[in-house]
Amino acid sequence: ALPANLLRTYCNSLFKNHPQYRPFEIYINRYYSLPPQSYAPNALNFIVSYSGNTEETISALEEANQNRLPFVGFSSGGKVEELCKMYGAPHVKLPVPYPNFQPRMGTGYFFGSMLQILVNQGLMPDTTKEMLSLAAKLNNRMVEFEKTGVALARKLKGKTPVIYASPKYKPVAMIWKIKINENAKTPAFWNFFPEANHNEMVGFTNPQGKFFIVMLKDLEDNPKNLKRYEATAGLLLEKGVESEIIKMEGNDVFYKMFSSILLADWTSYCLALEYGQDPTPVDMVEKLKKILK
């Protein structure tokens, strides 16, 4: 679901610059049953699970097949691949680059494969060259991301991270939260401006623990919304809550999203090391799967 959120943000940005393509909605489903939108006449369902064994995904796949809804499966194998072959449905085989590879590291594989299907269907422009060029630039900045991640992880140590972003980049804030949860094995939360100013901010009047707010600031956001970052940081500091504003760099939505995600990777990885945690395994998730069987 998370790569689909990023895909929606990216596609919406392309529609503005390529008016010859007709905008369409991307709906996200995180449950066992399919939403009403899956039954729309022109709907195409992406059935997504990196392992191929997520039970909610398998349930949704079975429903799509039973109701003869068009769908494409995405997985590295597992039950999703098996069922797609059985039902004669298209399946995208995702790579497992190394042992113990975790699904949270496969965002780019999901994003790229889903986007390519939309391009192949004539629904989106092909921006492969542009994305590869931007990806190379990101790769050249890896040392910089690591250094920033080390510094930020030290600030976050001993505190509960809360990530804020603009409405456009809510998916990125959510990914930060998930990376910290799974890599550093510690609680984290997310919200967005202006919503956080209407309710959540007041909760820091009487915090029951130490928090640190990371604000992902898109300089192309609405000017009125941009004023909220520094203003909120000042109000939080009055309550003893530290924060840091991180500018989302670049002029391209793809670059902004993935540069921020790379920083989230490094920050959460370094925070895991600060806590003496192995960032790779997710033991509680595996234990829950066994309980639910």
Q: Which amino acid is at 236?
A: L
Residue 182 appears among annotated catalytic residues: yes
What is the bridge-based pairing of β-strands 160-165 and 189-192?
Answer: parallel
Annotated catalytic residue, options 91, 179, 182, 217:
182
Q: Give the integer Cα–Cα distance in Å for 63 and 253.
A: 34
DSSP letters, 24-59, are -------SSSPPGGGGSTT--EEEE-SSS--HHHHH
Q: Is 144 marked active-site?
A: no
Q: Which two tokens stand for residue 197?
A: 């100013």
Residue 49, amino acid: S
Identify whether 198 is a catalytic site residue: yes
CA dihedral 162, 165, 170, 175 (to 10 degrees): -50
Q: Which residue in 85, 137, 147, 198 is the catalytic one?
A: 198
* DSSP state letter for 20: T
The helix or strand, by DSSP H or E, that contains position 74, with its residue range, turns out to be strand 71-75
At 186 the three-state DSSP class reads coil
> Which residues are tagged catalytic?
182, 198, 289
